[in-house]
Structure 1
Amino acid sequence: IASRAAYRGDSPAHWHYAASKSGMVAMTKTIARAYAKDGILAFAICPGFTMTGMAEEYLSSRGGEKLLAEIPLGRVAMPDEVGEMARWCALDAPAAMTGAVLDVNGASYVR
């Protein structure tokens, strides 16, 4: 699980978070290229804000209306949506999709 920050970046106070998530995406692509021949598949999921306890606190204490206004869907992702993506990648994703990066952010960042 990476983050939309891998592509969108983050605030100057959290540059290290964005850099680590970019590294996870590059690692996923490298694993896919190196080991697909061995039947090892690799996928990265890049959620945006997800309604965890931390996000709920952030939304309520730091002007969540502004954050939600930046999400065309009008809400943050739910944990079960991210979990379903992970389940699908683990069990049902086609092998030819190895190396894919999947976004789950309500169109708050579109590549």
Structure 2
Amino acid sequence: MISVAVRIATERGTCRMPMPVNTLAREVGCPSCGRSAQVSGDIWQALLRDPVYDGPRMLRNEGRRSRAGGLSVAYTRLGPCCQGCGKEIPVASIVEVRGSTGTRAART
């Protein structure tokens, strides 16, 4: 199982403080000064292109950075991990839980 952690931020506000971008939004607001920055679909595509294509080919725990449209993206190839504490979840545990829930691949 491969996962890639992606962190996107911008420093476009007048205060020049990093603004975390926590969702695929067209506009992000600065928690420090309250100003907002626009993020177009083209910028989202440019930002996520490298993590989507390069991420699975990277070495485990390898990290890279890129920029597009005034935003920066940092991405790292990781194993699956807890969103709360960041601790890695063993793949065997995921397989065990998945097997006990009776989930199956969708048939087409």
Alignment TM-score, normalising by the size of structure 1: 0.27
Alignment TM-score, normalising by the size of structure 2: 0.27
| Larger fraction in strand | 2
Higher relative contact order (Cα pairs below 8 Å, separated by 6+ residues) = 1
